[in-house]
Every structure is written in C-alpha cells, then in structure tokens.
Amino acid sequence: MNIRRLSTRAPDFTEALNALLMREVAQAEGVREQVAHVIAEVRKRGIAAVLDFTRRWDGWQATEARIVLSRAQLAKAWEGLDAGDREALELAAARIRAYHERQKRSDWRFTDETGCELGMRFLPLDAVGLYAPGGKAAYPSSVLMNAIPAQVAGVERIVLVSPAPKGEVNPLVLGAAYLAGVQEAFLVGGAQAIAALAFGAAPIPRVDKIVGPGNAYVAEAKRQVFGVVGIDMIAGPSEVVIVAEEGKPKWLAADMLAQAEHDEDAQSILISTDRALLDAVEQELARLLAELPTAAVARASLARHGALIEVQNWDEAAQIVNRIAPEHLELALADAEGFAAKVRHAGAIFLGVHTPEALGDYLAGPNHVLPTLGTARFSSPLSVDDFVKKTTILRATPKALAALGPFGAHLARREGLIAHAYSLEFRLEGEDKQ
C-alpha cells in the first residue's frame, strides 16, 4: 500500500502539503486546438459537422433521424427499467426535488426613505442543455442532479445530449432523463455536442446554459463557449477530505476508496490526531484494495494524490481543511457541528460517522455537482440559482429624483460623463437645458 504520510510536527509539513495539493490535471497534447477546430466546424456546417465527428469518434452511423430521442422514447426507456432501478431513481428524484424546492426565490420590492421603489425579479432561463456521459460510463444520478434543479427553477426546455459509443445507449441515463423532466434528447457527445448546444445545429437547439460532467474534451469545449452561453463550472477530478477521531477504520478506508475509484487524478485525504487510527485505516486500505474491482484506478489515485495526515489538534485540522477547500468534507467527529463552524471553504460537509459522502452522491438531497480543486473558496454547489436570471427593478418619483439626482449628477461630472449629468439635471430643472 503506497500512500503519503504527513505530520504537522515535521519541519517541512507546509511544503509537503503544498506539493500534495499541486494537483494540476495533465491535458492531452492538442486538446485545446482540436476542440477549437470542432467548434469552428459546427458553427460553419451545423448538424453535418456534428454527425461527421460523431461517426468518426463514437463509431456508429449517426444520422439526423437516429440521433433524435423524443419524450415518448425517453418514457419507453423508463418503462423498460426493472422495478428496483425505478424505485431507487424515484426515491432519489423525490429527495433531490424536495431539497431544491427550498432554494426557490420570490420577487421582492421595497420603497426607501426617498420614495424610490427598488426590487428584484427572478426568472428561469428559457433553455438549458444537459451533458450526460453515455455508454458504460454512465451516471443516471448526475442526470437527476443537473436536470431537477433546472425543472424546479421553471426552465421550460431541458435538452439532453449523451454519446452512444458504437451505438450503445444506456437505458438508465435515458430513464433518469425522463423522470427528471427532460423534454428532448440527442445521441451525440463530445465537443461537437457542446458546440451544437452553444450555437444551435438543428435539430439540436441553441440553449442559454450548459451543465453536466464530461471528459477533457467536453470540459475544454465548455470553457471555449463560455460567454456565448453560461456553464455550470469547469469540474476537476473528485476529492474528499475526512477529519476523524472515531468511526471504524474499515468505514473510513471505504470512504477514501469511494473517491479514489473515480479517477487516477482523484484525491482522498484523511486527517486525525490519532496515529493508531491512521495506521489502522492504512491497513484497511491495503486489505480492501485486494478485493476491489476498481483497484487499479483507486491504487493509482492513492499513490499519486492520497494522504494520511497526523495533526496535533483540531485547530490545525481546521486550518488544513480551509487551505484545501475540498469538494467533499466528512467529519467523523463527536463534535462535528463544532468543527464545521470553523470551516469556511468546502463544497459539501457531511456530519458524523453515519454520513458518508456516498450518501450525498445519490439520494440524500443536496446537489452532488460541487466545486473542486480548491474552487470552493469562491464557488458553490449547483443549485436552483444556476438556472435563474435576476433582473433589478427601479422606479423613482419626482421626490426621489429631487433627493438623489443632484448627487448622481455630481458624480457623473466628476467622471467626465456630461450627458449622464444632463440626463439627471434636465429632469431636476423641469425643462430642457438650452
């Protein structure tokens, strides 16, 4: 078992921690240029380019007719799932919906002391594109997590794009899409699907925002079309930090492996004051890896990016957590709430030994689309807010204009914007300025 052991007692701890967190994900040579070429071709040739790239890279004879899936076809996929699949997805969808319903906002207005009426209006986006990985590497839970907040927000048009490698369609993804309210779906993926959603490639419609996980080409395509459309985030590999003083070593090891098995670039870190607990977890990691089907990926992840960190006290642990700003933070502590109060930067916090991160991945309710690679310092989980645009409202009465206008005109003149000043002064004078 190969995993870093760090201690805050070591004189080089800060340097070692910084090295651990330098987790830049290597991008294959030419990804940016290739994605730019794909986007340019889709803008120029539309659906013909999308189909050409799909045939080349996904290995099936995609045609305009064959890539389109109607709501009725999504319903058929849902009905074809076995009862166990439907029951689990229905429970997950209900819990995700109930959680996100609490995030909805209402329009508001107030009148201030000058008589000026101020407010804000919240309106859903018109159309959202949801990217879902397809084939064998398919995640129906991600479809629910991305589509349901959009539906709760009131988005009328939710469009799914998902690749069908060698023509293989994953029924779980399509069934989840039906359950989550997706109206239309297209069997295309990669950068060409992102470009089609950003610029329109009939029958694939142009949308206002693109959400959902994907490979390096999808992530780079989202980066390049941002500004033409909105995006959720540029997501990096999954990560978890566990702060523990209790809990069975087997549980904690499984939680670390649950992240490590995602990707060789995923990161799993365990922090504790108890060296014996760290030793026991290391032994359990070795034992579980011997039987884990995803051991090759998990072992590489732990060797490259994993760590067991011994701290002298919980204040040190909190400082390290805030330095990392993890996507997922598990607190296997007797006073998990007390520790959580010290945390400023984390995508999601899981309180107590009976709250593994895997519960949040599927059906607890909060969204599992979270900021990674330290971006929890300034980013938030996907929510209903991501599918709503805000418009400010302002109405000034003559009294309000008389109270505020002279100051606005003064600032306008100080900025050298004389027409701005005129716009206010003419009204204050009550007649055209000669």
**What residues are labeled active site?**
327-328
Cα–Cα distance measured from residue 345 to residue 334, given in angstroms and rounded to the nearest whole number = 21
Instruction: State the CB neighbour count (10 A cutoff) for residue 89.
Output: 24
Residue type, position 37, single letter? H
**Residues 284, 319 contacting (CB under 8 angstroms):** no
From 196, 175, 29, select the one nearest 89 (Cα to Cα): 175
List % helix, strand, coil for the chain (3-state, nearest 5): 45, 15, 35
Q: What distances in angstroms separate CA 430 from CA 94, 115, 413, 423, 424, one per listed residue?
A: 59, 19, 20, 11, 10
> On the CB side of 397, how many CA atoms lie within 13 Å of its CA?
9
Cα–Cα distance measured from residue 368 to residue 357, given in angstroms and rounded to the nearest whole number = 9
Cα–Cα distance measured from residue 244 to residue 259, given in angstroms and rounded to the nearest whole number = 17
**Residues 261, 298 contacting (CB under 8 angstroms):** yes
What are 268's strand-pairing partners? 240
Q: What H or E segment, with its residue span, contains residue 378? A: none
Count Cβ atoms within 10 A of the Cβ of residue 303 and give its class: 0-12 exposed, 13-18 middle, 19 or more buried.
middle
Instruction: State the CB neighbour count (10 A cutoff) for residue 420.
Output: 15
